[in-house]
Amino acid sequence: MNPVESPAATAVRHPLEPLTGDEIRLAAAIARRERNLGPAARFVFISLGEPARADLIAWEAADDPAPLPRMAAFNLWERSEGVLYEGVADLGAGTLVRWDAVPGALPPFLWEELLGIEEAVKSDARWQAAVAARGVTDPSLCMVDPWPSGHTGPQDDPVHGRIARPLTFVRTSPNDHGYARPVEGLVVTIAIDTMEVLEVEDHGVVPLPPHPGNYEPELMYEPGNIPAFDGPRTDVKPIVITQPEGPSFTLDGHHLTWQKWDLRIGFTPREGLVLHRVSYLDGGRLRPILHRASLSEMYIPYADPRPTHYRKNVFDEGEVGLGILANPLQLGCDCLGEIRYLDAVVNDNDGEPMVMRNAVCIHEEDRGIAWKHTDFRTEKAEVRRSRRLVISFIATVGNYEYGYFWYLSNDGTIEYEVKLSGVISSGALAPGETPDHGNLVAPGLYGPHHQHFFCVRLDMCVDGPGNSVYEVDSVAVPPGEENPYGNAWVTRALPLDSESVAQRTLDPMAGRYWKIVNNGSLNRLGQPVAYKLMPGGNVSPMWQPDGQQGRRGAFCAKHLWVTAHDPEQMYAGGAYVWQNPGPDGLPVYAAADRDLTDTDLTVWYVFGAHHIVRPEDWPVMPVARIGFELKPLGFFDGNPALDLPRPSSHACHHHAHHQEVTR
């Protein structure tokens, strides 16, 4: 066969530029032709086949590099066989270079299935009878949310292929807040590939909660709404963010530079936002810090044993895909200031491109004081304003919104933050009943206890390849000759030199952090340069380790994992989590117990939000924030923000006064 011609393969200059729409279409065409695929073949995710780390570093170092091959990696669900395949297409050659079946693996929700499940459930007579028993006279007002099945035991083995367990909610009008009226005790099991409703469980009628919980201004001030308000606030004055000379950053394709930072932005349908080759210009040299950084997985286990809720333990990234759920961001709403947006191009299940408009937002923020000192003898004050670059996207996963934010600061700090909002996953109660495993938010309505775990994957490259990781604790010195006054304490570093050792938990009482060191690169003090990972708020799982949640979410049992760099090991919970009983992912990767001394390595940081629902979380949850920092530790020879210019005299009276006095 002749190779499929590739009109787009030479159009992208840098090897890390995401696939174009033409390249996505080309990859699908190559697979169809070479494997004689029919209409039952459904493309799950198509994304850039990223070049090997060593090849990319060599390409960047070359004066006149030859183009690296453009590859597209994809997975494909062959419905006619019930088999999942992984493939790689060489876009320049127009050929397949990989095609492998993955035995036992099941794909996530396909885009086309999300609304098809609702239609199939509403057509089932058993479901119709169940909602009628609850007084629902117009089933068209019901919402059916397609929840993954999890794996609670042998009954969830894929005898019928992929299954889902949708939950039902009732609106009173088309624009009503449907999550205000959950249908408690009604659980449907559906075979996704055939859209056959296998079972309808009805655990008894619980009255629908009586009150609306609308949040749109057109509805929220109506009588009976909870919470109740008389009308909108009238005392909110405008805040205007202006940069008359434009932003300080430059965006060339997906290449982003800002002050001394240099990086590339990627986007995949599963992970969403990805950062590549994050580096800092120092002393005329571009010094690498991160080779690749992304959210590897998120896992949300619920703590309520009631029939409607105990199966809720979802991998929103691996079971759905965050990139395909990206919001089109709006100026002045999602992002404020001098904004630049990037569209994201993902695939539909036919292998055609879909453009996610304004999926990524880039802007600058004032962050308060960067540093300050006043010499009280001379009354001279020097102060600098901190600024940070923000790179973000937001995904809507059913009822929840998640905002994912990377921050780069003047002082060399990298921060990652997840902002949680949206609507709680609600349940209904009989009048007068109080929940044991959740809290009331409105009459007859409660939110179950749950947790949100996030795992960020960091391919480290601190001042180049060959890194090591140490755990650092602060320890009080025992009384005695070395601590005669009882005030002494020291820091102690434990080398995490193998994968069996590099599975760690937090100890905030010891001020624990982890430092990533390049022993082959010394600062002017003769110390190895490093970055340190500073934990933020966190929690441990509350489940029993041998239960379904403990098995499936085993990576959450540790807050830090370090593994040898392997581009095939991308996802903390495993590559395919649908109906996967676990454990998979990080516990399996780390079982190899590879050496971690002065080598290419990957740091995985797991952080959890502990959500005990409040009435104030209804009807839409105020944003909650959680994350961590990467801070330079001997990476620079001093404060890297020292060279920030003074604020303009019209903005800072300290310096205006100083200029007046010294004239």
Residue 41 lies in a domain: yes
Q: Which burial class, exposed, middle or buried, applies to 62 when counting CB atoms under 10 A from its CB (0-12, 13-18, 19+)?
A: exposed
pLDDT at 13 over 90: no
Q: Is residue 655 part of a domain?
A: no
Residue 388: which of 241, 249, 523, 235 has the closest Cα?
249
Q: Is the pLDDT of residue 660 over 60?
A: no
* DSSP calls for 484-500: TTS--EEEEEEE--BTT
Distance, in Å, from the CA atom of 40 to the CA atom of 46, rounded to the nearest integer, reads 17
Residue 390 pairs with which residues in a beta bridge? 363, 407
20 exposed, middle or buried (CB, 10 Å; 0-12, 13-18, 19+)? middle
| Entry pTM | 0.95
Domain boundary among 204, 220, 236: 220
Q: Are residues 90 and 119 in the same domain?
A: no
pLDDT, tens digit, 9 for 90 and up, residues 444-495:
999 999 999 999 999 999 999 999 999 999 999 999 999 999 999 999 999 9
Residues 308, 163 share a domain: no
Q: Domain span at residue 205?
A: 113-220
Which of 275, 270, 10, 307 lies closest to 152, judged by CA? 307
Same structural domain for residues 214 and 282?
Answer: no
Domain count, the chain: 3
Counting Cα atoms < 13 Å in the Cβ hemisphere of 64 gives 0
Q: Are 476 and 597 contained in the same domain?
A: yes
Note whether residue 643 is domain-resident.
no
Same domain, 204 and 253: no
Average per-residue pLDDT for the chain: 95
Residue 263 lies in a domain: yes
| pLDDT tens per residue across span 486-545 | 999 999 999 999 999 999 999 999 999 999 999 999 999 999 999 999 999 999 999 999
Residue 614 belongs to a domain: yes
**Are 388 and 363 within 8 A, CB to CB?**
no
From 316, 411, 584, 617, the catalytic residue? 316
CATH number for 27: 3.10.450.40
Catalytic residue among 85, 299, 302, 400: 400
Cα gap 376→509, rounded to integer Å: 36
Q: Which amino acid is at 175?
A: N
Residue 169: both structure tokens together? 């909610």
> In the chain, what percentage of residues exceed pLDDT 90?
92
Residue ending a domain, among 101, 131, 163, is: 101
Indicate if 82 and 122 belong to the same structural domain: no
Examine residue 243 and state whether it is found in any structural domain, yes or no: no
Q: Do residues 489 and 352 both lie within one domain?
A: yes
Question: Encoding tokens for residue 133?
Answer: 């028993």
* Cβ-Cβ contacts under 8 Å for 638 (sequence gap 6 or more): none
Q: How far apart are CA 279 and CA 290, in angstroms?
A: 7
In this prediction, residues 377-406 reach a mean pLDDT of 96
CB 341 within 8 A of CB 362: yes
Q: List Cβ neighbours of 70 (8 Å cut-off, separation of 6 or more).
A: 6, 9, 12, 15, 23, 49, 90, 91, 92
One domain, residues 124 and 88: no
Task: Say how far apart CA 133 and CA 157 lie, in whole Å.
Answer: 31
Q: How far, in Å, CA of 319 to CA of 553, rounded?
A: 13
Claim to verify: residue 579 and residue 468 sit in the same structural domain:
yes
Same domain for 205 and 331, yes or no, is: no
Whole-number Å distance between alpha carbons of 520 and 67: 30
Which residue has 């340190």 as its token pair?
Answer: 532
Please state, for a pLDDT cut of 70, what percent of the chain lies above it: 96
Give mean pLDDT, residues 137-141: 96
- Phi and psi (nearest 5°) for 556? -75, -10
Terminal C-alpha separation, the chain:
81
For residue 480, is it within any domain? yes
Residue 363 and residue 422 share a domain: yes
Number of helices followed by number of strands (H, E) in the chain: 9, 32
Residue carrying the six token digits 């309808």 = 200
Which regions of 114-243 does DSSP assign to beta strands (E)? 142-145, 163-164, 167-170, 186-191, 196-202
Query: Is residue 400 annotated as a catalytic residue, yes or no?
Result: yes
Listed residue (453, 494, 413, 465) closest to 602, CA to CA: 465
User: And the tokens for 84?
Assistant: 């999942």
125 and 94 housed in the same domain: no
Q: Is residue 231 part of a domain?
A: no
Confirm whether 470 is a catalytic residue.
no
- Range 116-132 burial, b when 16+ CB lie within 10 A, else e: ebbebbbebeebbebbe
